[in-house]
Amino acid sequence: KTMDPQPTKKKVVAVVGGGLVGALNASFLAKRGFQVQLFESREDIRQAKIVRGRSINLALSLRGREALKHIGMEEKIVSKGIPMHARMIHSISGKQSPIPYGKKSQYILSVDRANLNKELLTAAEAYPNTKLNFGYKLSDWSFDSGMMTFQGPNGTEEEIYADLIVGCDGAFSAVRKQFLRQSRFNYSQTYIPHGYIELTMPPINGQFAIAPNFLHIWPRNTFMMIALPNMDKTFTCTLFMPFEEFDKITTGAQALEFFQKYFPDAVPLMGVAALKRDFFQLPAQAMVSVKSSPYHMGDRCVLMGDAAHAVVPFYGQGMNAGFEDCIVFDGIMDQFNEDLSAVLLEYSKIRVPDDHAIADLAMYNYIEMRSHVNSRWFLFRKFLDNFLHRIMPRTIIPLYTMVTFSRMRYHEAVRQWQWQNKVISRGLFVCGTASAIGGTFLLIKLFTMRPSISLEQLWNRVPALKWF
């Protein structure tokens, strides 16, 4: 009688980092029956007071929602989010122009970061095979022994073992440090010259100061401000500006003067005193883009979320991409029946091209937004996108639609977008030459048939000419 196969004593998986991705990942892994130990350097944010630092609210879209759905959290999080069905573009004159994201069902959600993090930690903690450890800061780990070294809550150094280490410790990951010692590990980080601060727009007479179900944008080329609504009827406004511009504004009066020049409609909505106070509450925060590959080391360690790929926020996809990492990893665990060396190798092979693609897209969008995007250009671009999509719905899909409202792999969305750009530019070229030839032919005909018409009569007769 063959020996009954030993019931696999489920492996110990350590999740390092209890931010958005680590907390979510703990649930994904606990659901699979692993012994999950989550280690977070900060105190339990469910007990601590609100810590300022990262963006207060975030845009949650389809990719992130699919991950939440996987652990049964989608409804709970969506119910506390505010739908944004369109962008609201604010021109310098204060004119507001809505641009829908798409059909009725295509909306994004403004969610509160701290609340999301708390809900995800509580969901992970609910699993009997999960333990959350706060005040544990990883300082190193060993590939061969699987031992991790932590600075424990009372300053003690603790060595803890895991079969698998999942690095979800953010853009400045300590888990990734070991990867940097590894040959053939590729790593790049780019700080952009822009920083950001967050300002608040309070409710007026208990109501939202501006339309709530919109992502408000004040595009001003090198400067840009966006505002996302909160459940308490405030808006969190994020001002993006080069650090050297922030450095020039050192007094409340200068801050006010700057806003009156570039965002005049926002001044009365923020309140002059609050604007002067909020502007200097925190120094402008930096934004870094991190790309790395591979995401794994043998069958011992894998990086996910910002630890693997921190992206600039100009696509609202950082968290959504990190959440999608969890779905992809989980799917590969099924595919390879949890054989970790096969799973980790496949995960890097599949996920690196996609996370690099969204990192590139976000950086591309940052460069586009800061160079020539003012409200007229933004409106024109989105109008063109939506117009072409309407006449050729299956051929031309706006890039943001593929990124925000589909699960299409990020690198495939980029390929499709590049193909579309070729089709459009070729199409425009053909139309351009055709209309030039047709137009010239018409003019010649006009002149040969009625030589009497003078140029300024022609000028007056063809109003479109006045644009040239």
Ligand X SMILES: COc1ccc2c(c1)CN(c1nc(C(=O)N(C)c3cc(Cl)c(F)cc3C(=O)O)c(Cl)s1)C2
Q: Contact residues for ligand FAD (CB under 6 A)?
A: 16-22, 39-42, 54-55, 58-59, 137-138, 168-170, 174, 196, 238, 287, 305-307, 313, 316-320, 322
Pick between residue 71 and residue 403 the one whose CB is nearest to ligand X: 403
Torsion angles phi and psi, residue 138, rounded to 5 = -70, 135
- Nearer of residues 16 and 302 to ligand FAD, judged by Cβ: 16
- By beta-carbon proximity to ligand FAD, the closer residue of 99 and 226 is 226
The option from ligand X, ligand FAD, none interacting with 320 (CB < 5 to 8 A, set by class) reads ligand FAD
Q: Is there binding between residue 315 and ligand X (CB under 6 A)?
A: yes
| Closest approach of ligand X to the CB of residue 85, in Å | 11
SS3 per residue for the chain:
CCCCCCCCCCCEEEEECCCHHHHHHHHHHHHCCCEEEEEECCCCCCCCCCCCCCCCEEEECHHHHHHHHHCCCHHHHHHCCEEECEEEEECCCCCEEEEECCCCCCCEEEEEHHHHHHHHHHHHHCCCCEEEEECCEEEEECCCCCEEEEECCCCCEEEEECCEEEECCCCCCCHHHHHHCCCCCEEEEEEEEEEEEEEEECCECCECCCCCCEEEEEEECCEEEEEEECCCCCEEEEEEEEHHHHHHCCCHHHHHHHHHHHCHHHHHHHCHHHHHHHHCCCCCEEEEEEEEECCEECCCEEECHHHCCCCCCCCCCHHHHHHHHHHHHHHHHHHCCCCHHHHHHHHHHHHHHHHHHHHHHHHHHHHHHHHHCEHHHHHHHHHHHHHHHHHCCCCCCCHHHHHHCCCCCHHHHHHHHHHHHHHHHHHHHHHHHHHHHHHHHHHHHHHHHCCCCCHHHHHHHCHHHHHC
Which member of 12, 44, 46, 55 binds ligand X (CB under 6 A)? 55
Q: Using CB distances below 5 to 8 A depending on partner kind, what does residue 315 bind out of ligand FAD, ligand X, none?
A: ligand X
Instruction: Considering the complex, state which of residue 236 and residue 420 has its C-beta at the smaller distance from ligand FAD.
Output: 236
Residue from 307, 369, 396, 413 in contact with ligand X (CB under 6 A): 369
Site for ligand X in 70-89 (CB under 6 A): 87
Contact pattern for ligand X over residues 7 through 46, marking x by CB under 6 A:
----------------------------------------
284 touches ligand X (CB under 6 A): no
- Residue type present at position 397: I
201 touches, from ligand FAD, ligand X, none (C-beta below 5 to 8 Å by class) = none
Decide: is 215 part of the binding site for ligand X (CB under 6 A).
yes
Q: How far apart are CA 216 and CA 237, in angstroms?
A: 9
Smaller CB distance to ligand X: residue 88 or 164? Answer: 88
Out of 19, 167, 170, 316, which residue is the one contacting ligand X (CB under 6 A)?
Answer: 316
Residue 170 contacts which entry, ligand X, ligand FAD, none (Cβ below 5-8 A, type-dependent): ligand FAD
Kindly state whether residue 320 participates in binding ligand X, applying the rule CB under 6 A. no
Residue closer to ligand X (CB basis): 293 or 365: 365
Kindly tell me which residue out of 36, 38, 59, 284 binds ligand X, with binding defined by CB under 6 A.
Answer: 59
Report which residue's Cβ sits closest to ligand X: 316
313 binds ligand X, rule: CB under 6 A: yes
**Binding residues for ligand X restricted to 381-420, rule: CB under 6 A:** 400, 403-404
Contacts with ligand X by CB under 6 A lie at: 55, 57-59, 87, 108, 215, 217, 226, 228, 238, 313-316, 365, 369, 400, 403-404
